[in-house]
Structure 1
Amino acid sequence: MKFSYRFSNLLGTVYRCGNLNFTCDGNSVISPVGNRVTVFDLKNNRSNTLPLATRYNVRCVGLSPDGRLAIIVDEGGDALLVSLVCRSVLHHFHFKGSVHSVSFSPDGRKFVVTKGNIAQMYHAPGRKREFNAFVLDKTYFGPYDETTCIDWTDDSRCFAVGSKDMSTWVFGAERWDNLIYYALGGHKDAIVACFFESSSLDLYTLSQDGALCVWQCDTPPEGLRLKAPTGWKAELLQEAEEDDEEGEEETTVRGKAVPPTEEQQGKVKYSRLAKWVSPQGYFFNKEGDFNNLTAAAYHKKTHLLVTGFASGIFHLHELPEFNLIHSLSVSDQRIASIAVNGSGDWIAFGCSGLGQLLVWEWQSESYVLKQQGHFNSMVSLAYSPDGQYIVTGGDDGKVKVWNTLSGFCFITFTEHSSGVTGVTFTATGYVIVTSSMDGTVRAFDLHRYRNFRTFTSPRPTQFSCVAVDCSGEVVSAGAQDSFEVFIWSMQTGRLLDVLSGHEGPVSSLCFNPVKSVLASASWDRTVRLWDMADSWRTTETLGLTSDALAVTFRPDGAELAVATLNSQITFWDPENAVQTGSIEGRHDLKTGRKELDKVTAKHSAKGKAFTTLCYSADGQSVLAGGMSKFVCIYHVKEQILRKKFEISCNLSLDAMEEFLNRRKMTEFGNLALIDQDAGVEDGVVIPLPGVKKGDMSSRHFKPEIRVTSLRFSPTGRCWAATTTEGLLVYSLDAQMLFDPFELDTGVTPARIRAALRQQDYTRAILMAFRLNERKLLQEALESVPWGEVEVVSSSLPELYVEKVLEFLASSFEVSCHLEFYLIWTQKLLLAHGQELKEKLSLLLTGLLFTFNSCDWNRYNIQYALAVSKQRGLKRPSEPLGSDEEADASDDDTLHLLGSGQVDGAGQLV
């Protein structure tokens, strides 16, 4: 389908809040990004966002020991059970409360969530399909305040839970006779983390004030005894023992309860459940209350303890001797989450204040990954001419360049001292031109990664937009305060001219891709066309009915689209200055209601409009977005809405709901108008005036959902949008266009054709998919005789079966070899259907769309048969020539029908 764009990736944001996790192989980091989850492949240098989203921001992520399943819980308590293998949601669940942390047991049979002041243990879902994936096993009570952390023993027999009431509780995962629960005190602040020692019940606890306590248990894990059942369970156990014919001696095994002996009963009766040695305190926080401990991680095999603080400093210690390995600072913001991979070599840090994600190799003291998004909203974006790079500019004054294949930012320019308002590439793709509110327009070189040109105006002004002509020699920028358009030379950096005439701020600029004509849109309800080749004179002035917000040319330069403040998109002929059409987009925008709005969403939509426009690569459609969660694609000629995309379902953002939330309405008014988080620092409210703890200017802030910029890629296969959540990329392709999988110098078109001549079809198809050239793929598949399709399809690996099915789905619409491709599809599904059972819904989408058009083809085939019969009846009286010529004529008719060159009436189209 031409407009079946699907969410492909999320760039520009690497970490927001929540906990970090390493995969079981230790090569990837799973990071929560808003209401989505991104997987950063450190080995292959790629990032990929899972195609799923929660209703609120992700609070915590729990990863199964085998790395196949993940439980994603948002701030509202909604949980998603996700398969990381097929990247899909398996089950939805609601925990009926805010969940702080979730952790799987090491054996993968159970998982524990901390909710409020309780801990709940659930049976973990297995690999078989279940009616209810989450079955509650037990609920553990004990803490008086909110629980904060969980840790399991290696044998999954016990787990520890830390709380804000300065206590740590040790619970038994089963009904142990000598350990039901145990409370550990000794701290003077909230517990941040607790860790069991390897193959032991010894425990380490860390509190927010930087105190470490070591707890030693006198009972090994093997010394735990299951409690003997009572009542009807004991009777069933006794009957089962009587029916046992082997008469083996009774032994205490895990999972089977045996009645204790008298000696054991005496021990339980007169001794404590578990005896702990008094704690030993280590205080390593030297800076007092202003540098609280915020996160910690412990690697049991190497005995490595990593602690992070609110000042951005982290320490590495070796336990239990508590030897300091080294201490470094990764940021000037608080470290929100720490994770250590399985080998203990890499440490991941997440800083929510700046949106940083760092992976540190502590032995070589070097960064494996260091990424940071725009910590303020992104404003503009631009695709490079080859589509491999995306440049973004934000209100934080930074300009970042992202690789679309890897999803990583590889260069950041920080020369601007204020917010960036516009970015663009030159035609060569090696120069980036940006405008900023600091009064400068800068040009950056992607070869040497430096700012080689700085364009300024004679008087200080704020630039709101920037544009570069097709030759890359003329740079223009619009002023927000002086209402002028400035023209510079890229070669010399000199100011060539100042274009005056607008009576309002210049909101958008765009050069004609074919001619040297500049279009400038302004708030004075006009769009002016300036001729760059004729002394920069105004050629035409287009009058509008409202303030102009965005202007863009069609790729061929024959049409102009303008978005205005009254939610209209008007189309103009720039040669004749005639309006050719208009689109009313007020109802399609569908703005949401803010928490503080006193009017309904329907009335607030009157002040909203499209703020960004972009033509598709073929010029037949236009992409529009604005102060809304929707992005619309319109057909220019028909002036109708083709498709509407909902870019986010995150209710943690403002202006997402259409109606007022009645739960926040009281007899005194809206509770959202009360800033309940005013003066809150780490959950502590400043009670009295004069108290200096915390930031007195801190306020609760809820960002509003909006789309600030939209761009189609040069190929038209994908488009990107800068939104409140980050840089969203929507693509027609399930995977990237070029996938150099096992590609080496020996894979060439000549080698592929040589393999076809040798009738080695499987090897030829594999090499063709490694090159990923459509003509070679078609040649390799169509060279296989139909009698050998079954043998070749059964010998293809699973990874290539998916690619062959995707290729077949895209070829049905354009190929006349329908039966041959249907044979390929049938044999592939019969041979590999069981292996691809979980992915068939995605792979067969294109096939089903093609098969739905068979009804239309059926009438064409009936018409062809009727024509053939009619000619057959006319042959005795009206000779048409030889039989071979008649058959050839019928075959030509069928061929034209298959290729779409003959319509239902038999006319050529």
Structure 2
Amino acid sequence: MKKNYKFSSLLGTVYKKGNLIFSPVGDVIIAPVGNKISFYDLKSNKSETLPIEARYNYTTLAISPDGCILIAICENGEAHLISLISKTVIYRHGFKTKIRSVQFSPDGTMFAVTKENVVMVYKTPGLRTREYTPFALVKVIKGHFEDTTSISWSSDSKVVAIGSKDMTTKIYPLKWMTNFHIVTLGGHKDVIAGAFFEKDSLDVYTVSRDGHVCVWDSTVDLQDLQDAPGGWTPGKRNQESDSGNSSESDEEKPEKESHKEDRTGVLYQRGGRFFLNDIHRENGYTADVRLTACTFHPDTHMLVTAFSNGTFFIHEMPDCILIVNSALYKERLLDTACTSIALNQTGDWLALGSQESGQLLVWEWQSEIPVLKQQGHFNGLTSLAYSPDGQYVVTGGNDFTVKIWNTSTGFCTREYRVHSSSVTDVTFTQSGKVILSASLDGTVRACDTVRYRNFKTLTSPRPVQFSCVAVDSSGELVAAGGQDVFDVYLWSLQLGKLLEVMNGHEGPVSSIAFNPSPASSTLVSVSWDKTMRIWDTVETSVSREAITLTADGLNVCFRPDGKEIAVATLDGQILLFDSVEGRQVSSINGRNDLGSGRSEIDFTTAKKNLEGKAFSTLAYSADGLCILAAGQSKNLCLYYVTEGLLLKKFEVTQNRSLDAIDDFVSKKSMTDFGPMALIEARMEDDDEIRNISLPGVRKGDMAVRKLKPEVRVQCVRFSPTGRSFGACTTEGLLIYSLDSTSLFDPFALTENITPQTIRTNLREKEYSAALMMSIRLNDPQLICEVYEKIPINSASVIAENMPINYVEKLLAFIASHLESSTHLEFSVIWLNECLRHHGEKIRPGWRPPTMKMMAVLRDLQKVLSKRADDISKICDFNRFTMQYLLNLSRLKSSRSKNIVEEEMSSEEASDNEMEIL
């Protein structure tokens, strides 16, 4: 069992808060997702999460024009300079305050950052600027009385427009100009949300939060700007731009007086004034609607504004002609208010993000077609389950939805809104064509993954809140446990009929599981009444056996071969039972391994909190040798079952924006009367009134108030392939996978097995010896070299004489090789020969080899089904293209034939007329 699992992708959450940006090419959307950053490729339809984790949530992003450097700033003001080539953080800089905006100059040589009431301009490190010192300060721009909110660069990167909370916009030249100086623009009655330069011009558009747009025309053209003779001195310029007077020498005074007439001649005239809220009143919105986000595209002159009621407008500037009004659409594009807007390079795609609902939408506004529409579980995940081939993951959440995620692309492929309350548990049938979900609304829904519909609804005679659901290996029997009624219900999925109500538990049923073995019909359930009950669902309906536990049962799961049962109890132990004899085999005490953080509102220490912690979810690995456990903590614990040893501990997050991360709370946040976190402010940074939170409410609170969620792991599941596992956390669905290239793990290695010996055997055409020696050395690159140089006509002989333990590792290599290789037919022939000669040996009865081999076969099934889908798409596209071309040729031939017939008929008519004459 390998334990070098590493974080690979983030599912279940697509956007949280912050600004969205497009890549310079325009086909990739970059979104902050908590303390991580996700890239969504719109052309290849794939998503990727950077292997970078911050200490706080990211709120501000900016990418350089060449696409090599990304600046990401957290909510506490910590800035990360990220290289997108190596995908690592190359420098960290602390601003120690909230940063609202950061923008690169169009030429990529500088970037500006808003900090409180100033703007700081830095040089961009890289080959273009020949500057390798990160965050080299160029200039500090002062002059505003309130915090700055937005930055905009002119096309030549010489002038910046800065908006502020003091309802003014200031235009600053970065160098001393003989005919241009600082200009202040007013005319607004609310906070400036954005100020934008027109392309190749000094004309400015300013937008305030009350929906007021002003058009400012400059009397000086951009190409007419003239640098001051003698260059620019940073100290002299800063003093002049900040205070308005300087202690220059007598020699400098005449030079400045000589430019006085030119500077006083620079004026900005208001060329237009528009009120966008009037459009809302025309559409019937009587409540106060405020602007939440805005952006401008200089090439197409489009101004996009979004509002708190979920609508957005697209206007053509400078005449402010309304092009798109989303309020007129029958179906709303966003469920809640849009908090971020971005346009790609060509201006065709519009990206919209909603912080409240966690929704991300990329919309092609000309054709009115969504390019990408994704939404995570905005109110937290509760459960997950892998499909039998490991290609898909189904998740359930507190937002009443069930979603299917593709593990290869990272996108949600289907969403089911069939429940009216929180989804507590989900599972796949053995065929992978049916999803079963249990909910607190008292129903168990069966959804078809082929036709995407809810075809069965299973209910109980009396209203029950179902807390768990399970299905047997045949897919015929479905069981669910009650939370308020302490019974287990059994249905027939084909008939949709309730078969039996199993009584016996005296507390809420926390978890149930069917024996995965096809020859068994055993059902196991654990409850808060400190018992585990084993039921036989076929022979008799009464409880076969009741086993007393050491504490309340929280979770139960079977080993993949069905011969062992693991139970998590409230005292922090994992009890292991023999499923045949019903006796306890061993136990694992993992309370100290789980770990516990201290919340900001706790009066007790983390060590004292640890006494009340326990594992709430368990999962066996695909080979059955290890078990993964988690609970109300930031840690995932991987145990070796036979010895009861902790193999590895995974820390799911380091995000200090969540609660209960650290074991110690700073003394600054503690008072004589308790933690300061219990005192909630009614006014926030966005000047919205927020209510005091209800006591004891930790989740599911939909009111408008400040919420700091607590870190926890709701559910963990291993992939049937054994190559990855998923964890439902407060951050989202985290996928951890094996990185086999970074670990040297030989198999039965001896001194004579070296790369030189393997290549020598390969040159001498000893293909069987070379292949088995490379498998024993377990170097993927060397195995691939030997594997691809073997003639295909020798595959049958080599596979027939290969031992079964080598066949298992060869199949595992082919499964990983098929994901990226183009030699599809070559690999399929090898698979056919291996299974044809060794298929009889892969059968139930071999305890360790069977579970490992089944994991490998599931991995092969996943890869082959994925490649089959890709090839079928290509074949369908080619087939439809051929049909179109054939139909087009027939249409052209018929048209030409009609034209010839018309010409012949006209000639005959003319001949007849001539004969008549």
TM superposition score normalised by structure 1: 0.76
Q: Name which of 582, 591, 614 aligns with 2:596.
A: 591
The alpha-carbon deviation at position 2 of structure 1 amounts to: 1.6
Q: Distance in 2 between matches of 1:640 and 1:349?
A: 48
- Determine whether 1:307 maps to 2:305: yes
Give the equivalent residue in structure 1 for 2:342.
339
Q: Does 1:717 align with 2:723?
A: yes
Worse-superposed segment, 695-704 or 161-170: 695-704
Q: Does residue 699 in structure 1 map to residue 720 in structure 2?
A: no
1:615 to 614, 620, 625: 620
The residue type paired with residue 603 of structure 2 is K
* Post-superposition CA distance 1:78-124 (Å, at most 9, x none): 11111122222211111222111111111111101101111111111
Question: How far did 1:182 drift?
Answer: 2.2
Please give the per-residue CA displacement for 1:603-633, whole angstroms capped at 9, x wherever unaligned: 1111111110000000000001110011010
- The answer to whether the Cα contact below 8 Å between 2:126 and 2:132 also exists between their aligned partners in 1 is no
Partner Cα distance (2:547, 2:234) in 1? 87
Matches within 5 A, 1:204-603: 204-229=205-230, 266-269=258-261, 271-272=263-264, 274-278=266-270, 280-286=272-278, 287=281, 290-328=288-326, 329-514=332-517, 515-603=520-608
Is residue 683 of structure 2 the alignment partner of residue 683 of structure 1?
A: no
Q: How far 1:264 moved relative to its partner?
A: 9.2
Superposition RMSD on alpha carbons, in Å?
3.0
Measure, in 2, the Cα distance between the counterparts of 1:130 and 1:545. Answer: 65
Check if 1:624 corresponds to 2:622.
no
CA distance 1:289–1:143, change in 2 (3 Å): farther
The answer as to whether partners of 2:139 and 2:234 remain within 8 angstroms in 1 is: no
Do the aligned residues in 1 keep the contact of 2:153 with 2:159 (CA within 8 Å)? yes
Q: Residues 6-43 of structure 1, C-alpha deviation per residue, up to 9 Å, x if partnerless?
A: 11100111111000000011101001111111000000
- Cα distance change on mapping 1:517 and 1:268 into 2, 3 Å: same
CA gap of 1:807–1:437, structure 2 versus 1, over 3 A, is: closer
Q: Structure 1 residues 270, 466: closer, same or farther in 2, change over 3 A?
A: closer
**C-alpha offsets along residues 46-93 of structure 1, whole Å, 9 cap, x if unaligned?**
111111011111110011001111001000111111112222221111
User: In structure 2, the residue corresponding to 1:539 is in which secondary structure?
Assistant: strand
Give unpaired runs (5+ residues) of structure 1.
235-258, 688-694, 736-755, 760-772, 785-805, 812-909
**Distance of 1:369 and 1:216 partners within structure 2:** 37
**Are the aligned partners of 1:294 and 1:310 in contact in 2 as well (CA < 8 Å)?**
yes
TM-aligned CA distance change 1:123 to 1:271, over 3 Å:
closer
Aligned counterpart, 1:856: none
Name the CA shift for 1:229/1:602 in 2 (closer, same or farther; >3 Å).
Answer: farther
**Partner SS state of residue 17, structure 1:** coil
- 1:486 to 1:365, Cα distance in 2 relative to 1, 3 A: same
Shift in CA distance, 144/457, structure 1 to aligned 2, threshold 3 Å: same
Per-residue CA deviation, residues 421-447 of structure 1 (Å, 9 max, x unaligned), is: 000000000000010000000100011
Larger deviation: 300-309 or 322-331? 322-331
Contact 1:572-1:581 at 8 Å conserved across structures: yes
2:111 match: 111
Q: 1:686 to 1:619 in 2, by over 3 A?
A: closer
Aligned to 2:75: 75
Kept after mapping to 2: 8 A contact 1:679/1:699? no
How far residue 734 of structure 1 moved from its aligned partner, in angstroms, is 8.1
Task: Give the CA deviation at 1:557.
Answer: 0.9
CA-CA distance at 1:176 after TM superposition: 3.1
- Aligned equivalents of 2:234 and 2:211: distance in 1? 47
Residue in structure 1 matched with residue 874 of structure 2 by the alignment: none
What aligned pairs does 1:754-769 form with structure 2 within 5 A after superposition? Answer: none
Contact 1:311 1:332 in 2 (8 A): no
**Cα distance change of structure 1 residues 127 and 233 upon mapping to structure 2, 3 Å threshold:** closer
Letter in 2 for 1:385: P
Amino acid at match of 2:443: T
Is 1:58–1:74's contact at 8 Å kept on the other side of the alignment? yes
CA contact (8 A) 2:124 2:131 kept: no
Whole-Å Cα distance in 1 between the matches of residues 32 and 486 of structure 2?
43
Query: Could you say what secondary structure the match of 1:604 adopts?
Result: helix
Mapped to 1, the partners of 2:205 and 2:740 lie a distance apart of 46
Q: Which amino acid aligns with 2:437?
A: T
Match of 2:423, as an amino acid?
V
> Would you say the 8 A contact 1:567–1:610 is kept in 2?
yes
Q: CA deviation at 1:228?
A: 4.4
Matched, 1:777 2:777: no
* Cα offset, 1:170, TM superposition: 1.4
1:159 aligned residue: 160
Does 44-53 or 260-269 show the bigger shift? 260-269
Instruction: Provide the C-alpha distance between the structure 1 equivalents of 2:714 and 2:172, rounded to a whole number of angstroms.
Output: 50
The separation in 2 between residues aligned to 1:233 and 1:458, in whole angstroms, is: 81
1:143 CA drift (Å): 1.4
Normalised by the length of structure 2, the TM-score is 0.76
Consecutive unaligned residues in structure 2, runs of 5 or more: 236-250, 327-331, 692-700, 742-761, 766-779, 792-811, 818-917
Q: Corresponding residue for 1:727?
A: 733
- Paired residue secondary structure (2:378): coil
Counterpart contact for 1:186–1:279, Cα < 8 Å:
no
Does the 8 Å CA contact 1:180/1:273 hold for their aligned counterparts? no
The corresponding residue for 1:145 is 146
Partner secondary structure for residue 278 of structure 1: strand
- The letter of the residue matching 1:214 is V
Q: Secondary structure at the match of 2:370?
A: strand
The residue identity in structure 1 corresponding to 2:432 is G
Between the aligned partners of 1:680 and 1:448, the Cα distance in structure 2 is 47
8 Å CA contact 1:334, 1:351 repeated in 2: yes
SS in 2 for 1:560: strand
d(CA) in 2 for partners of 1:403 and 1:684? 38
Distance 1:406 1:731, change over 3 A: same
Amino acid in structure 1 at the alignment position of 2:528? W
Q: 1:490 to 1:135 in 2, by over 3 A?
A: same
Q: Tell me by how many angstroms 1:324 deviates.
A: 0.8
